Amino acid sequence: MSYNIVFDKSRKQDVIFEKIFKYGILNKYHVDRVDYNTYWEIYETEFAEQHSSELTFIHEGLLSSKEKELYLEYNHPQISNFLVVKDNNKIIALFRSEQKEENLYYMRHAMVNKNYRRQGIYNDYLTKVIQYAKEMVFSQIVSCFVAANNVIHQAKVKKEFYVSSFEIHPEYGNIIWLTHFLNDDLKKAFYFRSGMVEFSKKLFQNSEGNANNLLNKILKSSQ
């Protein structure tokens, strides 16, 4: 199928994307960026039947025509990447990611053709997304998956993604959120919040004085 490729060399994020994905996935599978509608049209025609047996309720399908129109108008992130991966002319994978907050990049959707799995396609994509988000000066990358999906969990743990929350989601069920920290001080803050003995000078200086208050209390309690 033919589709429009999204690229604007005047936008910094497009230039960074082009640099990182210039040689595709695994240096052999070509990557195109497309728009929202094209991405989901490809998913429906090429991948829907290959989806796992997860029971998912599609949010957009629960909206009226007017609600969906407004949702798509109002809910476009500043940065979004809808990727189509091809082996020659055969579409073999889809990846979607976007800006979730000003310092947060969200890996939102991934699908690899069942005949192309276990080649390292997802791992290579993951490496490139981390590089892209870092060069775009995001502080964190987040991702979620259903709790039973150990394949995705294992792949991300190897790339230093940490379990950051658990959610009972009305559309997807029991999901786990993972976070990869691109800022070392923020990672140390996560360790500290998780009960680890970890801290940094920047954390101390940017705690509105409460790190010093805590230190004084610890010293006082040890006397």
- List, for residues 92-149, the tens digit of each pLDDT value: 999 999 999 889 999 999 999 999 999 999 999 999 999 999 999 999 999 999 888 8
User: Residue 185 in contact with residue 207, Cβ under 8 Å?
Assistant: no
**Cβ contacts of 16-24, under 8 Å, gap ≥ 24:** 16/132, 16/135, 16/136, 17/81, 17/132, 20/128, 20/131, 20/132, 20/135, 21/83, 21/128, 21/132, 24/85
- Flag whether 76 is in a domain: yes
Domain of 27? 12-182
Q: Measuring CA to CA, which residue among 194, 199, 2, 185 is closest to residue 89?
A: 2
- Flag whether 158 is in a domain: yes
- Flag whether 200 is in a domain: no
Report the CATH number at residue 114: 3.40.630.30
pTM score, two decimals? 0.84
Query: Coil, strand, or helix at residue 44?
Result: helix
Give the total number of structural domains in the chain.
1
